[in-house]
Structure 1
């Protein structure tokens, strides 16, 4: 057994201890680099991923420019607004659609003759006598009849025109012109009707109006009777 002097053993232990301490110090410093807490620094933030910049310190963030789809609730659980009739700002209103006028809701009359240039011109008037609003569109039908109800002459022919829908509130009227050449000028064969039957557009039942306009052409030259498209009112 070799005896090592005490001073040599002490020196070796000292050197070993210093080496171990140096190694532990190096490891401790490396661990501290990754575990130090982050430091908050003032300044301008980098651009966000959507291309917008974060607000500077002390300012509020701008409102979002993206809009929700029309009519969609602004947040979960929010209800969709419903327009109210008569409201401001262009609120939608619901307007009821009127149906056509039926024969039973109308009355018929024949106005005063307005002759001119060898023509006889009578306004045939339909009036809404019901308690509701209804519509007329196009041409009425007409026929002259004798006392027993037999038709005299052919049906009136339609004059050219542009039919429009006429809305009649209770008590309002529409009219059509009944026109024919004066038989004394045209030389047509004539008959004197007892009544004029008037049929509203798109109806089958007729209204009977007593005829006081005298003789009408029923056959021969220039015997055609014409009826114009319905217009609002009671006369031209």
Structure 2
């Protein structure tokens, strides 16, 4: 009986140990299984997002816009530079061919008087004597001088007007009006100049034209002469 009782207890202990071992093994297997399942579950969606999400292209576009990517922004800068060059060339091509007329390329003359309402009106004419096309823009300069070259009276003043660019091909002319009050009407003091000096717009050298139209006002009432802007033609 004592033997049977001891054997029974040993069998019971062995069975209990087996049960506990089985329980520990089961718990260990559950823990090991849950670890790989979590890794697999996280990696799966991440892999799908990388394959389907277009987000990888966004940083490149953003870098080009913000200048964060040198390689992306450099071609854009080069294109802009070429476009700017094209625009500058276009603007330059609208500039009149030949540029302004220089004094050495012009011939000056004074046309016939066209009096009216107590005024004397003369066209001061510049003709392109060169072989190239050039332009005049604005007012001429002018001064009456005596035989010794001394100035007679004040410089003519500018009358109101809107300057335009006059293009002169070889042989073509432009004219500006020279106007002053008739001294016999105004009562101004007069002098008779020997010549009229004419300076083309934006030039310093002068052209000398013999003056044969008689006395001009130099002081007193209505003694000022006036010049208008250049217009195409001879004013005849």
**TM-score band (shorter)?**
0.5 to 0.7
The equivalent residue for 2:17 is 16
> SS state of the match for residue 205, structure 1?
coil
TM-aligned CA deviation for residue 69 of structure 1: 6.2
Alpha carbons of structure 1 residues 94 and 192: separation in structure 2 relative to 1, 3 Å: same
In the alignment, structure 2 segments of 5+ residues that lack a partner are none
CA distance in 2, matches of 1:225, 1:11: 142
Alpha carbons of structure 1 residues 188 and 16: separation in structure 2 relative to 1, 3 Å: closer
Contact 1:143 1:198 in 2 (8 A): yes
Which structure has greater helix proportion?
2
CA distance in 2, matches of 1:188, 1:222: 5
> SS state of the match for residue 123, structure 1?
strand
Alpha carbons of structure 1 residues 68 and 115: separation in structure 2 relative to 1, 3 Å: same
CA distance in 1, matches of 2:100, 2:222: 33
TM-aligned CA deviation for residue 120 of structure 1: 1.0
CA distance in 2, matches of 1:135, 1:118: 30
Contact 1:136 1:167 in 2 (8 A): yes
> SS state of the match for residue 209, structure 1?
strand
In the alignment, structure 1 segments of 5+ residues that lack a partner are 46-53
Contact 1:196 1:208 in 2 (8 A): yes
The equivalent residue for 2:119 is 119
Alpha carbons of structure 1 residues 76 and 193: separation in structure 2 relative to 1, 3 Å: closer
C-alpha RMSD of the superposition = 4.3
Q: How many residues in Structure 1 have an aligned counterpart in Structure 2? A: 211
